[in-house]
Amino acid sequence: MKQIGIWLDKQQAHIVRLHDAGETLETIRSEVEFFNRKGSSGSRVKWGGTQDISHESTYLEKEKHQLKAYFNQLADAITDADVIALFGPADTNEKFRAALMADHKALAAKVKTVEKADSMTENQVKALVRDYFRDKK
C-alpha cells in the first residue's frame, strides 16, 4: 500500500512516501507570487485624502490561476497513492482537497484526513506522516 503524506502551504509542498525501506521526501515549490500592496500617494485636492489604487481583484485572480497550476503539479506527483493524508497551516490543504474533488476525483477519494499542522522542518514532516500512518494501522 502506497501511503503518501503531504505537508503544504502556498510556498511549497513536502511529499512523504512511506514504503518498506523507509520513506522518501520530495519537495515541490510553487510558483505562487506574493503580492504586497504598494500605496501611492495621490492628489489630496479632489478626494480630500490620498488615493491608493488597489488592483486586488487582479492579484486574487492571478493567485487563483497560480494555485490551480500548483495543485495540478501536486496531483500529478501523487497519482500512484493508495492513501493520502494532507497537513499544513492555514487553509491551503483544504483548498488542495477541494481542487482534487473538482479535477481529480479518483485522488480525492483516497484522501483520508486534512489536518492543521504548523510550519515544520523536513524531518518533522517525515515524523508527522510516519506517526499518522502508524497510528492508523
User: Could you tell me the residue ranges of all domains in the chain?
Assistant: 3-41+52-135
Q: How far apart are CA 120 and CA 95, in angstroms?
A: 20
Q: How far apart are the first and last CA of the chain?
A: 12
User: pTM of the prediction?
Assistant: 0.83
Q: What is the 3-state secondary structure (H, E, C) of 57-107?
A: HHHHHHHHHHHHHHHHHHHHHCCCCCEEEEEECCCHHHHHHHHHHHHCHHH
> What does the pLDDT look like over 57-75, one tens digit per residue?
888 888 899 999 999 999 9
Q: Whose CA is closest to 111, among 123, 101, 121?
A: 101
For 3-39, the pLDDT digits (tens) are 999 999 999 999 999 988 889 999 999 988 876 655 5
Rounded to an integer, the average pLDDT of 79-96 is 95
- Would you say residue 50 has pLDDT above 70? no
Confidence tier at 82 by pLDDT (50, 70, 90): very high
| CATH class label, 3-41+52-135 | alpha beta
Distance CA 15, CA 110 (A): 15
Please, are residues 25 and 125 in contact by the beta-carbon 8 Å criterion? Answer: yes
Is pLDDT at 79 greater than 70 in this prediction? yes
